[in-house]
Each structure stands twice: as structure tokens, then as C-alpha cells.
Amino acid sequence: MITAENLRKRYGSKTAVDGISFQLAPGKVTGFLGPNGSGKSTTMRMAVGLDKPTSGSVTIGGKSFPQHAAPLRTVGAVLDAGATHPGRTGRGHLQVLAATHKISKKRVDEVIELTGLGAASRKRIKSYSLGMNQRLGIAAALLGDPAVLIFDEPVNGLDPEGVRWVRSLARDMAAEGRTVFVSSHLMSEMSQTADHLIVLGQGRIIADAPIGQLLDSGEQRVLVRTEKPADLRRALGAEGVSIEQTDAETLEVTGLDARSIGRRALETQVVLHELTPQRSTLEDEYMKLTGEHVEYRSGGQEDRS
């Protein structure tokens, strides 16, 4: 269980994390989603004691990270895949980590197997591809068999096979009852991995909900095609209903469901060629949620913070 209470981090005049509170449940993958610079890494770094909160707290199982007697057995984190000794082999790196944390050599073999490092574990880390480095980082995180896993943008730079592997690993770990916290700036990524989402924008939480609920919260649009769009418009017009004509025969209606639209069309004798509810995608919801909170936009807009 990870709990943040009024967690805040300032760097000089810059507020990276602006008083956020959340609680992550075990047995689930919680996605931590937000545009670049929204404060995800800073939050995760504070969770594992690499940064100190300016105020507020973040605890794991009720204790701050440094208060845990055996942190590696409590939390496995992949925050910076590059933090290894390039001259060592992957196996050597894991063995040193295991020895300093009183973890058996057998466990080293297990995590090598689990992360698919295989024969590559006997090669020097400096020869590793990004994907192998990422697997090594995850192997190190799993060494202590921790109940909590924190992965910061784990699929960045991975090939499709690597991406699938990280996703299924995160799901498997949650299915074993662990608390899994995974960050990404891509909704498409999160929608395939996470059960629950915490969406961050400019250091603040803008959504904290199960994935399904985020989808359902979207306003439903219905696409309607008819030869008489003007007549249908008149039949549907009412307070709370908005109608947009997108071409000569097509209307997009918000504020009425397909059943009501069909009924009113029948009452007014307007023939419909199509009546299709448009389910908004998670991507749409994410864009809507974060639209106000993006720090750096494509198209050269200035920093809005």
C-alpha cells in the first residue's frame, strides 16, 4: 500500500508536486499518467526516498521508505535504468545487490529467468541494449520479492516485444497481490495495463478513478445521418442538447441518447440512415482532462506554468 498525504515538492520557485493525496491498493496496477513535466517522476522519487518532500508525506505500508529495515524487500523500483556499473555483467550486478541485502544466489537465478535475461546476464552491462538494461533494472527491482513495485516509464524505448513483456509482468505481479505503480505519459499504454488511473497535470491530481469509470464519465455523442438534417435538428432541439452538423447529411448530437433520438425521428417522420452512439476513447478523455494542464505543447506554445 502506498499512501501520499498532501505531498508537495518545490524546486526553488518551481512547484513540481502540488499537495497531492492518494492511496494505492494492492492487487492492482495503478497507472500514473500525465504529460511530460507533470510531476510523476518527482512523486515516485519521493516514494523511494530519493527526494525529500517539501511538505506532506508519502509512505509505504505506513512507513516512509528510509524507515523500512529492508527497503529492497519492501519496494522494488525502476526509476533510472542507467544506474549500474557498466564493466560488470548483469549477473554480477545482481549478485552484488543480493549480497548487500542478504538475498540468496538462488534468487538471482530466479530473477534472471523471470526477466528473460538468460545468456545476456553473463555479458557486460556496457554491451546491453536499452531493452536489456530495462530488463536488468526490473530484475534488480524483483530481487527482494517486494510487495510494492514502482516503475517509472518502464516501456520507454522498448521494442514491441519488450513493451508486451513489461505489460504482462506488471499484470502478473498485481495478480499475485502486489501493489504495482507504473507511470507513463501515454494513455494508450495505460489503457492496456492499468486497472486504476491517477492522472496528474502540473503537479495536481486531475483524476483518480478506475479505468472503466473514466470512460463512462465521458459525455456521449451520437452520430445521426438523415436526408432531412434541418427537420431533425428542429425535432431534437431542447435545453441541454447540442447538435453539430458535420456534413450535408450528418449530425453529431450530445445530450440525448440514441433511443430518444430514434423515437423523436419517428414522431416527426424523419427517415434516419444511421444512428450510432460514439463511445469516447480513453485517449479522448485524457486529452480533455489534461488539455488545461500541459506544460509544453507541440506547436511552440510557451510554458503555461
Q: Using alpha carbons only, what angle is made at residue 152 by residues 42 and 191, rounded to the nearest 5 degrees?
A: 115
The β-bridge partners of 256 are none
Contacts with ligand ATP by CB under 6 A: the residue count is 12
Shortest spacing between CB 92 and ligand ATP, in angstroms: 30
State which of residues 6, 11, 288, 297 lies at the interface with ligand ATP (CB under 6 A). 11
How much is the CA Rg of the chain, to the nearest whole Å?
Answer: 24
- Window of 8-16, 22-30, 83-91, 217-225 that interacts with ligand ATP by CB under 6 A: 8-16
State which of residues 4, 7, 16, 236 lies at the interface with ligand ATP (CB under 6 A). 16
Instruction: Kindly state the greatest CA–CA separation across the chain.
Output: 80
- Write the DSSP string, 132-165: HHHHHHHHHHHTT--SEEEESSTTTT--HHHHHH
259-266, long-range: CB < 8 A, 24+ apart? 261/222, 261/224, 261/236, 264/235, 264/236, 265/224, 265/226, 265/232, 265/235
If one asks whether residue 36 binds ligand ATP (CB under 6 A), the answer comes out as yes
**Closest of 93, 87, 94 to residue 124, by C-alpha:** 87
Shortest spacing between CB 14 and ligand ATP, in angstroms: 5
Nearer to ligand ATP, 38 or 89 (CB): 38
Sign of CA dihedral 104, 105, 108, 110: negative
Nearer to ligand ATP, 28 or 40 (CB): 40
Nearer to ligand ATP, 166 or 265 (CB): 166
Nearer to ligand ATP, 65 or 229 (CB): 65
State which of residues 31, 33, 37, 115 lies at the interface with ligand ATP (CB under 6 A). 37
State which of residues 7, 8, 38, 282 lies at the interface with ligand ATP (CB under 6 A). 38
The β-bridge partners of 59 are 3
**Closest of 305, 291, 279 to residue 199, by C-alpha:** 291
Nearer to ligand ATP, 34 or 229 (CB): 34
State which of residues 1, 14, 176, 268 lies at the interface with ligand ATP (CB under 6 A). 14
Shortest spacing between CB 50 and ligand ATP, in angstroms: 10
Range 163-202, binding ligand ATP (CB under 6 A): 185
| Range 182-203 burial, b when 16+ CB lie within 10 A, else e | bbbbebebbbebbbbbbbbbbb
**C-alpha cell read off for 73:** 524487500
- Window of 34-42, 84-92, 107-115, 228-236 that interacts with ligand ATP by CB under 6 A: 34-42
If one asks whether residue 40 binds ligand ATP (CB under 6 A), the answer comes out as yes
State which of residues 7, 20, 34, 148 lies at the interface with ligand ATP (CB under 6 A). 34
- Rounded-to-integer distance, Cα 99 and Cα 77, Å: 18
- Rounded-to-integer distance, Cα 95 and Cα 252, Å: 61
Q: Which secondary structure element, helix H or strand E, spans residue 245, and what is its range?
A: strand 242-247
Nearer to ligand ATP, 45 or 221 (CB): 45
If one asks whether residue 42 binds ligand ATP (CB under 6 A), the answer comes out as yes
Shortest spacing between CB 185 and ligand ATP, in angstroms: 5
Residue labelled with grid coordinates 463512462: 216
Q: Which residues bind ligand ATP (CB under 6 A)?
A: 11, 14, 16, 34, 36-42, 185
